[in-house]
A and B are shown apart, each in its own frame.
Chain A
């Protein structure tokens, strides 16, 4: 069975992550309830005429995937698999508002077309002239992990040699206002926000596009190997430890073998307890890292976590800004990622050197 290696990465996030080494310019913003991407210079990647009508998610996806390909010294791939929670939500908002405001008249197709969830994957395929397998997953917080699982399965089965896998989501003003109404966003009055000691509900939201070139061969550019990915739609808080232990066991590992665990704290006290319980118990002696204070919460935020894990294994450095406790290790070769959103859509991703 072939192994899956991360051979290239590209990250557009609320931090400056597109032309930096690894979070050396990262800044924690603990006053905003919604974080926006630190945008790259799009015209370096996309012709300005084309970019003008392009959704934010498409632009970020195109740039992040181009960065990943360049990083992997690859020009093309056998498959493109993306994950997105809400797709190009700004265009969905625009098209729906036009329908409602103009009584279904004077509509143009552009925003309807871009609102289709697989638009980003399709646009990347169009740019690369990639006629291979092209899937898009839309399942809340496991949208990206579904893409990873699919990619890994096809590499293992020897159906493809290389996959471009990524997670993309964008903020939409009206959708964010609805999220605020539904209590999913932090109350502005409660800032400054502290992700590790939060006692209030709602999360700091964000957006981003992160892509990976996954290949069946180790090469000079290799970051890490994706050992396993597991998705569970529903778990009770008291089932998490057992789930993690069993997941590690199927990979012949114990908690003590982990050099770090990356947890998806999003400042929502109601559901951060899923992480906190494991942090205080099975992971008490494990270096614990967090990241959503840098990129915000969104359905595919866990792709940002995979990016940080890849960088840590390759550089063997853990930026201070990611540390949730003071435990350190002499080397960082095996990392576990655990994420969930509102107690649903749990994912466990295991990486090794």
Chain B
């Protein structure tokens, strides 16, 4: 096994908590947070259930101590909120002391403001400041400014695998010696745009999402942001830092099958996992827990399940669960919050329950773990797949 890249800090805000501790507490105590939508006016409000962060925009403005003239989108605010936590958690006081970068991820960017003000820009000059916060890069720009980062700042947008890819790029940048330290993760706020987009694709459930259940009806959308601090071994040694866990493997592949659907045999997912094992030098049997993508759409869970069975061939598939029944599918942030959950699983030796599961899928013999389980966890594999056939796998290991 090869030594992975050190994770020295984490920050998160999701529907199940405003900090790492709150999120972990919710996971342990089965406090899911899938509710009716409160912050967005939509005709679908009585049909859909979402994982919404209960802080209002003005509460977030106060938390971040932003001025009244700020033009932060909600995506940027929750992003900055989580990123600041991560930096603090890593004990960083002088951000540019080492070559530090920020790799963010988002799918909607500032769409939450754009859709609110789209037709009003021409009549209300006070709103014009929000025009520039639409694009995805503005989110990273704002977070970098809040953190005071001067250096490599970029954003990845590959739909629902985005944050996995930002973690992957960050790990590569550290391994290649291009950076000493990098803050990686993703953020996405709920938006009418995404709600309606997924609605037209007919993959939203009107009930609580049930990953890997035979009667699953689709996903619940959610909003969240999470960031992790990755540091080179030199920086870790020099500062005598505590390493929370390591990014030991990563892989990205394309399903090259369909723009929005996964292939029947999960080719992309299979290849992504295979690459991650190659990078880490681990074998499938070394994995103690799989945090599956498990969106609870009929298509994803079937394709992902088949890919996992292909990886494990005749071997026993380890304990696995989807945490999306807790948080909803948080799109470009999903892989980042699940990275935080994976690290917590390693630190605390827990397998999270796959809530809402009742009936095994008829296509194969795969049952997610449905109750909290304590056991030693050395390695966690986390999957994230997105539109455009984008498939990513990360492996986290005990330091």
Q: Which residues of B contact A234 (CB under 8 A)?
A: 144-145, 150
Jot down 5 A-B pairs with beta carbons below 8 A, ordered by A.
A116-B107, A138-B155, A138-B156, A153-B172, A181-B121
Q: Which residues of A contact B135 (CB under 8 A)?
A: 85-86, 138, 140, 299
Q: Which residues of B contact A118 (CB under 8 A)?
A: 157-159, 386-388, 390
Q: Which residues of A contact B158 (CB under 8 A)?
A: 117-118, 121, 134-136
Instruction: Confirm or deny: B288 has a beta carbon within 8 angstroms of a beta carbon on chain A.
Output: no
Known contacts A96-B115, A99-B196, A116-B387, A125 near B128 by CB under 8 Å: no
Give the segment of B82-90, B248-256, B356-364 that binds chain A. B248-256
Instruction: Confirm or deny: A133 has a beta carbon within 8 angstroms of a beta carbon on chain B.
Output: yes
Instruction: Confirm or deny: B1 has a beta carbon within 8 angstroms of a beta carbon on chain A.
Output: no
Evaluate contact between A146 and B196: CB separation under 8 angstroms: no
- Give CA–CA (A52, B151) in the complex, Å: 42
Give the segment of A105-113, A253-261, A262-270 that binds chain B. A105-113
Instruction: Confirm or deny: B267 has a beta carbon within 8 angstroms of a beta carbon on chain A.
Output: yes
Instruction: Confirm or deny: A233 has a beta carbon within 8 angstroms of a beta carbon on chain B.
Output: yes
Nearest A residue to B105, CB-CB: A138
Instruction: Confirm or deny: B284 has a beta carbon within 8 angstroms of a beta carbon on chain A.
Output: no
Q: Which residues of B contact A125 (CB under 8 A)?
A: 254, 256, 388-389
- Give CA–CA (A22, B155) in the complex, Å: 32
- Give CA–CA (A126, B193) in the complex, Å: 25
Nearest A residue to B201, CB-CB: A109
Instruction: Confirm or deny: A137 has a beta carbon within 8 angstroms of a beta carbon on chain B.
Output: yes
Nearest CB on B from A349, distance (A): 14
Evaluate contact between B136 and A117: CB separation under 8 angstroms: yes
Nearest B residue to A129, CB-CB: B256
Q: How large is the interface on A (under 10, 10 to 19, 20 to 34, 35 or more residues)?
A: 35 or more
Q: Which residues of B contact A115 (CB under 8 A)?
A: 197
Q: Which residues of B contact A130 (CB under 8 A)?
A: 254, 256
- Give CA–CA (A87, B389) in the complex, Å: 17
Nearest B residue to A121, CB-CB: B388
Known contacts A146-B154, A178-B131, A131 near B44 by CB under 8 Å: no
Seen from chain A, the residues whose Cβ lies within 8 Å of a Cβ on chain B are 80, 85-87, 92, 95-97, 99-100, 103-105, 107-109, 112-113, 115-119, 121-123, 125-126, 128-140, 142-143, 146, 150, 153-154, 156-157, 178-179, 181-182, 231-235, 299, 344-345
- Give CA–CA (A126, B256) in the complex, Å: 5
Evaluate contact between A134 and B390: CB separation under 8 angstroms: yes
Bits for B193-205, please: 1 = Cβ < 8 Å to A, else 0. 1001101110000
Known contacts A104-B42, A126-B256, A138-B135, A232 near B156 by CB under 8 Å: no
Nearest B residue to A99, CB-CB: B196
Known contacts A136-B156, A137-B157, A117 near B201 by CB under 8 Å: no
- Tell me whether chain A's interface is mostly helix, strand or loop, or mixed: mixed
Bits for B173-210, please: 1 = Cβ < 8 Å to A, else 0. 10110100000000000001100110111000000000
Give B78-125 interface residues, CB cut-off 8 Å to A: 102, 106-107, 109, 111, 114-115, 118-119, 121-122
Known contacts A99-B192, A135-B156, A182 near B137 by CB under 8 Å: no
Evaluate contact between A104 and B44: CB separation under 8 angstroms: yes
Nearest A residue to B104, CB-CB: A139
Evaluate contact between A131 and B149: CB separation under 8 angstroms: no
Give B289-306 interface residues, CB cut-off 8 Å to A: none
Evaluate contact between B197 and A126: CB separation under 8 angstroms: no
Option from B197, B258, B388 in Cβ contact (under 8 Å) with A109: B197
Most buried by B among A95, A100, A118, A299: A118
Evaluate contact between B254 and A95: CB separation under 8 angstroms: no
Q: Which residues of A contact B256 (CB under 8 A)?
A: 125-126, 128-131
Nearest CB on A from B84, distance (A): 17
Q: Which residues of B contact A116 (CB under 8 A)?
A: 107, 157, 159, 387-388
Nearest A residue to B122, CB-CB: A181
Most buried by A among B109, B151, B267, B390: B390
Evaluate contact between A100 and B118: CB separation under 8 angstroms: yes
Q: Which residues of A contact B109 (CB under 8 A)?
A: 138
Instruction: Confirm or deny: B374 has a beta carbon within 8 angstroms of a beta carbon on chain A.
Output: no
Evaluate contact between B169 and A126: CB separation under 8 angstroms: no
- Give CA–CA (A264, B151) in the complex, Å: 20
Instruction: Confirm or deny: B165 has a beta carbon within 8 angstroms of a beta carbon on chain A.
Output: yes
Bits for B371-382, please: 1 = Cβ < 8 Å to A, else 0. 000000000000
Nearest B residue to A146, CB-CB: B154
Query: Told that A103-B43, A132-B254, A153-B173 touch, could you supply 13 new A-B pairs with CB distance under 8 A?
Result: A109-B201, A116-B388, A122-B389, A126-B389, A131-B271, A133-B254, A135-B169, A137-B154, A140-B141, A157-B175, A178-B131, A233-B152, A234-B145
Nearest B residue to A179, CB-CB: B131
Nearest CB on A from B152, distance (A): 5
Nearest A residue to B149, CB-CB: A233
- Give CA–CA (A92, B271) in the complex, Å: 31
Q: Which residues of A contact B137 (CB under 8 A)?
A: 85, 138-140, 142-143, 299, 345
Evaluate contact between B199 and A96: CB separation under 8 angstroms: no
Most buried by A among B137, B149, B155, B267: B137
Evaluate contact between A139 and B119: CB separation under 8 angstroms: no
Evaluate contact between A131 and B253: CB separation under 8 angstroms: yes
Q: Which residues of A contact B150 (CB under 8 A)?
A: 232-235
Nearest B residue to A119, CB-CB: B388
Instruction: Confirm or deny: B140 has a beta carbon within 8 angstroms of a beta carbon on chain A.
Output: yes
Evaluate contact between A133 and B253: CB separation under 8 angstroms: yes
Evaluate contact between B259 and A119: CB separation under 8 angstroms: yes
Instruction: Confirm or deny: B260 has a beta carbon within 8 angstroms of a beta carbon on chain A.
Output: yes
Evaluate contact between A112 and B389: CB separation under 8 angstroms: no
- Give CA–CA (A121, B388) in the complex, Å: 8
Known contacts A86-B135, A96-B115, A109-B197, A117 near B172 by CB under 8 Å: no
Evaluate contact between A131 and B43: CB separation under 8 angstroms: no
Q: Which residues of A contact B169 (CB under 8 A)?
A: 135, 150
Q: Which residues of B contact A132 (CB under 8 A)?
A: 253-254
Known contacts A105-B43, A140-B135, A134 near B254 by CB under 8 Å: yes
Evaluate contact between B141 and A344: CB separation under 8 angstroms: yes
Known contacts A107-B196, A119-B388, A113 near B260 by CB under 8 Å: yes
Evaluate contact between A133 and B172: CB separation under 8 angstroms: no
- Give CA–CA (A135, B156) in the complex, Å: 7
Q: Which residues of A contact B285 (CB under 8 A)?
A: none
Q: Which residues of A contact B178 (CB under 8 A)?
A: 153
Nearest A residue to B140, CB-CB: A139
Which 4 interchain pairs have the tightest Cβ spacing? Answer: A122-B388, A112-B197, A233-B153, A140-B137
- Give CA–CA (A50, B256) in the complex, Å: 17
Known contacts A118-B388, A122-B389, A153 near B176 by CB under 8 Å: yes
Known contacts A96-B114, A134-B158, A234-B150, A104 near B196 by CB under 8 Å: yes
Evaluate contact between A232 and B151: CB separation under 8 angstroms: yes
- Give CA–CA (A107, B175) in the complex, Å: 45
